[in-house]
Structure 1
Amino acid sequence: MAVALVFVWLGMVLGISFLEAPLKFRAPGVTLPIGLSIGRLVFRALNAVEVVLAAGIAVALVVGDAGWVAFLVAAVALVVQLFAVRPALTRRSNAVLEGQDAPRSRAHYAYVGLEIIKVVALIATGVALF
């Protein structure tokens, strides 16, 4: 069960963070405010599902003993994203959506870096569980 949950989580992060997020801004007619509005909804949903998947993996790992370290790296990266990086991203997107001229946020780089850490950790977790 843990292996399936790990790879579902990995697939969601790869599909949304590295495919959907950058591509939506290239679609005709998608302005920065529209892209940010879509991104906020998508990432809020992704993060909620990630929390559920992380909880499921934690429960499954209690039964076994493989993959704990890599899983904890992924879980900590998620917690940092939710509580340290997302608030800064939300402040910027709120400002843009209110029509303010907000400078690009460096928090995006932190979020992407944490996504890369999660991807590597989830792959390691999945491999350890096999």
Structure 2
Amino acid sequence: MTVAAAVAFIWLGLVLGISFLEAPLKFRAPGVTLQVGLGIGRLVFAALNRVEVLLAAAVWVALLLGHRSVVSSAMAGAVVLVLIVQLVAVRPALTRRSDRVLAGEEGPRSHAHLVYVGLEVVRRSPGWPGSG
């Protein structure tokens, strides 16, 4: 369980640093346009999500090879389920929206971003693996 916890804390640090610091702050940097910020964000979040999948797998391997409880397994499963929802259901909607914005289209703001952020908060709620 120690290895699983260490991996979860690394995962937590990545998500906190990128989702809650880098993502909103890049749009405040001088000279960063919406298009540039979206382009950077797409690259960063694609990389983050690939790393998250690897970290999720590492948590599961550590749990399977080490001492695990029903609670830790259930919580890890719930976190992975939320990640899957983010990657399969929400990210494609965000990509479609950013494609339209990058093509110069304007329109109403997407609610998918709020859903993605909400799911990030749920995954980092107290008591979940990697939540601190």
Tell me, in whole angstroms, the C-alpha distance in 2 between the residues paired with 1:12 and 1:70. Answer: 19
Which portions of structure 1, spanning 4 or more consecutive aligned residues, are displaced by more than 3 angstroms? none
Q: Number of aligned pairs?
A: 126
Offset at 1:9?
A: 0.3
When normalised by structure 1's length, the TM-score is 0.91
When normalised by structure 2's length, the TM-score is 0.90
Is 1:88–1:107's contact at 8 Å kept on the other side of the alignment? yes
Tell me, in whole angstroms, the C-alpha distance in 2 between the residues paired with 1:126 and 1:22. Answer: 22
Residue 86 of structure 2 is matched in structure 1 by 81
Is 2:7–2:59's contact at 8 Å kept on the other side of the alignment? yes
Aligned with residue 35 of structure 2, among 30, 33, 36:
33
Tell me, in whole angstroms, the C-alpha distance in 2 between the residues paired with 1:125 and 1:91. Answer: 31
Tell me, in whole angstroms, the C-alpha distance in 2 between the residues paired with 1:107 and 1:21. Answer: 15
Offset at 1:118?
A: 1.2
Offset at 1:117?
A: 1.1
Structure 2, gaps ≥5 residues long: none
1:114 aligns with 2:119: yes
Cα RMSD over matched residues?
A: 1.4
| Identical aligned residues as a percent | 59
Is 1:68–1:125's contact at 8 Å kept on the other side of the alignment? no
Residue 3 of structure 1 is matched in structure 2 by 5
Offset at 1:2?
A: 1.0
Deviations 1:74-127 (A, max 9, x none): 111110000000000000100111111132100001000110011126x53258
Tell me, in whole angstroms, the C-alpha distance in 1 between the residues paired with 2:48 and 2:76. Answer: 18
**What is the letter of the counterpart of residue 56 of structure 1?**
A
Is 1:92–1:105's contact at 8 Å kept on the other side of the alignment? yes
Higher helix share: 1
SS in 1 for 2:129: helix
Tell me, in whole angstroms, the C-alpha distance in 2 between the residues paired with 1:57 and 1:69. Answer: 12
1:124 aligns with 2:123: no
1:17 aligns with 2:19: yes
Tell me, in whole angstroms, the C-alpha distance in 2 between the residues paired with 1:70 and 1:22. Answer: 28
Offset at 1:34?
A: 0.6
